[in-house]
């Protein structure tokens, strides 16, 4: 949540809560309220069952439901912090949340739409196929592009050396490089990867976009298809992975593909950890085939304390923070999609379950 957003939500809370019978509970702390009593105030004529009911799922469900209800008092938002512990409504029209378990659909009837509060949906693919599934689209692009840029600048500008020297009070010039003119592959040139590619091109990087399907962009440049991965990587100075987790992307960056790149290449992975053969990566770092690997995601998260990745030379780890899930953004996106749903318009971020992303 953005700084300053919480007080705004708290200010509106006293007017939001009603117990059955219409009595308003002024200013009670959120946790003291049973979930089943938390509903937006509605016009007295509104009959229960005729207004849209949406389950809001997750550890901050009460706070998020309250914020949503403030924006849409005509909709009933039903917070559920933990499906196993409930309480759950008998029926609902939609679910907003992340980590929605399939068992929810056995216990709550009528759910027709799930707004998944993440961009990657591999864990949502086991939900009933009859349910419309939408993900977060475009929301993470600026943050993730900045994160990747930070990694790449750290790589070429040799900030490690500056920190070492400062710790020793040493003033000695050292070599740096430039991103300008580097050839970098963006593997997973979709919403996020495409936004990154645009920003890198603005800095003079020669970007090769790689996606699942080959295509030609309006400016005449080519997007390499999955079958052309080796050609895309050939001689490149690095690869940025923004791939979804699918059967085809598991182990995408293996020894053979690493070997296609120029010696001393860089790897940045902000997609999913499953895309990297971690053993091959560490071997390539040890041999100098790769110079640096910035990993925001890992095959097993949280990365186990005894993983050799922590201490592998050239590895820089961040704990899956490149695309922060800010409450305000998530709620605004969900409300926009809700309005589209009510108007019968196409929703943002509809997931193609056959494709798997």
Q: How far is the CB of 52 from ligand NAP (least distance, A)?
A: 27
Of the pair 98, 140, the CB lying nearest ligand NAP is at: 140
Instruction: Confirm or reject binding of residue 119 to ligand NAP (CB under 6 A).
Output: yes
326 CB-near residues (< 8 Å, 6+ apart)? 1, 2
Rounded CA separation 37/17 (Å): 7
Instruction: Confirm or reject binding of residue 188 to ligand NAP (CB under 6 A).
Output: yes
Site size toward ligand NAP (CB under 6 A) is 32
Instruction: Confirm or reject binding of residue 192 to ligand NAP (CB under 6 A).
Output: yes
- Interface pick for ligand NAP out of 73, 244, 273, 314 (rule CB under 6 A): 244
Query: Which residues sit opposite 187 in a β-bridge?
Result: 210, 241
- Spot the catalytic one: 320, 326, 327, 348: 320
Instruction: Determine whether 320 is an active site residue.
Output: yes
Instruction: Confirm or reject binding of residue 134 to ligand NAP (CB under 6 A).
Output: no
Instruction: Confirm or reject binding of residue 242 to ligand NAP (CB under 6 A).
Output: yes
3-class DSSP string for 222-253: EEECHHHHHHHHCCCCEEEECCCCCCCCCCCE
Q: How far is the CB of 25 from ligand NAP (least distance, A)?
A: 37
Instruction: Confirm or reject binding of residue 226 to ligand NAP (CB under 6 A).
Output: yes
Chain centroid to Cα 10, Å, comes to 27
Of the candidate spans 10-18, 70-78, 95-103, 318-326, the one that interacts with ligand NAP by CB under 6 A turns out to be 318-326
| CA distances in angstroms from 75 to 52, 248, 319, listed in the order given | 5, 40, 36
- Interface pick for ligand NAP out of 72, 320, 348, 353 (rule CB under 6 A): 320
Which residues in the 195-224 window bind ligand NAP by CB under 6 A? 210-213
- Spot the catalytic one: 53, 135, 245, 272: 272
Binding mask 271-310 vs ligand NAP (x if CB under 6 A, - otherwise)? xx-----------------------xx-------------
Instruction: Confirm or reject binding of residue 330 to ligand NAP (CB under 6 A).
Output: no
Tokens representing residue 167 in the block: 């710790």
Of the pair 8, 217, the CB lying nearest ligand NAP is at: 217
Q: Which residue has the tokens 């963006």?
A: 186
Tell me if 104 sits within 8 A of 156, measured CB to CB.
no
Of the candidate spans 108-116, 160-168, 267-275, 330-338, the one that interacts with ligand NAP by CB under 6 A turns out to be 267-275
Instruction: Confirm or reject binding of residue 323 to ligand NAP (CB under 6 A).
Output: yes
Instruction: Confirm or reject binding of residue 145 to ligand NAP (CB under 6 A).
Output: no
Instruction: Confirm or reject binding of residue 248 to ligand NAP (CB under 6 A).
Output: yes
Instruction: Confirm or reject binding of residue 246 to ligand NAP (CB under 6 A).
Output: yes
Q: How far is the CB of 252 from ligand NAP (least distance, A)?
A: 7
Instruction: Confirm or reject binding of residue 77 to ligand NAP (CB under 6 A).
Output: no
Instruction: Confirm or reject binding of residue 322 to ligand NAP (CB under 6 A).
Output: yes
Cβ-based neighbour number of residue 102 at 10 Å: 10
Instruction: Determine whether 226 is an active site residue.
Output: no
Cite the active site residues: 272, 320
């Amino acid at each position: 949540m953005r700084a300053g957003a919480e007080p705004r939500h708290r200010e509106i809370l006293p007017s939001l809560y009603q117990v059955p019978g219409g009595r308003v509970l002024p200013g009670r702390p959120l946790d003291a309220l049973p979930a089943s009593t938390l509903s937006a105030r509605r016009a007295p004529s509104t009959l229960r069952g005729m207004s849209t009911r949406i389950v809001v799922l997750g550890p901050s469900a009460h706070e998020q439901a309250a914020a949503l209800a403030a924006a849409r008092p005509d909709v009933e938002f039903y917070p559920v912090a933990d499906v196993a512990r409930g309480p759950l409504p008998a029926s609902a029209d939609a679910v907003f949340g992340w980590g929605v378990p399939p068992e929810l659909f056995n216990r709550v009837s009528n759910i027709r739409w799930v707004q998944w509060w993440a961009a990657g949906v591999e864990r949502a693919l086991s939900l009933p196929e009859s349910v419309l599934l939408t993900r977060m689209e475009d929301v993470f692009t600026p943050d993730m592009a900045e994160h990747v840029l930070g990694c790449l600048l750290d790589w070429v500008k040799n900030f490690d050396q500056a920190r070492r020297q400062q710790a020793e009070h040493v003033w000695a010039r050292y070599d740096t490089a430039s991103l300008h003119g580097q050839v970098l592959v963006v593997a997973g040139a979709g919403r996020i990867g495409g936004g990154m590619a645009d920003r890198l091109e603005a800095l003079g990087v020669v970007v090769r976009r790689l996606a699942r399907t080959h295509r030609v962009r309006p400016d005449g440049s080519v997007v390499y298809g999955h079958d052309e991965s080796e050609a895309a990587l050939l001689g490149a100075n690095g690869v940025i992975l923004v791939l979804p987790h699918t059967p085809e992307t598991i182990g995408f960056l293996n020894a053979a593909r690493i070997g296609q790149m120029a010696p001393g290449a860089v790897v940045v992975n902000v997609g999913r950890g499953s895309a990297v053969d971690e053993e091959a990566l560490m071997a390539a770092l040890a041999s100098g085939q790769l110079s640096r690997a910035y990993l925001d995601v890992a095959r097993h998260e949280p990365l186990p304390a005894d993983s050799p990745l922590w201490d592998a030379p050239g590895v820089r780890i961040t704990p899956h923070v490149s695309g922060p899930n800010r409450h305000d953004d998530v709620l605004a996106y969900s409300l926009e999609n809700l309005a589209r749903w009510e108007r019968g318009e196409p929703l943002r971020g509809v997931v193609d379950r056959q494709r798997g992303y």
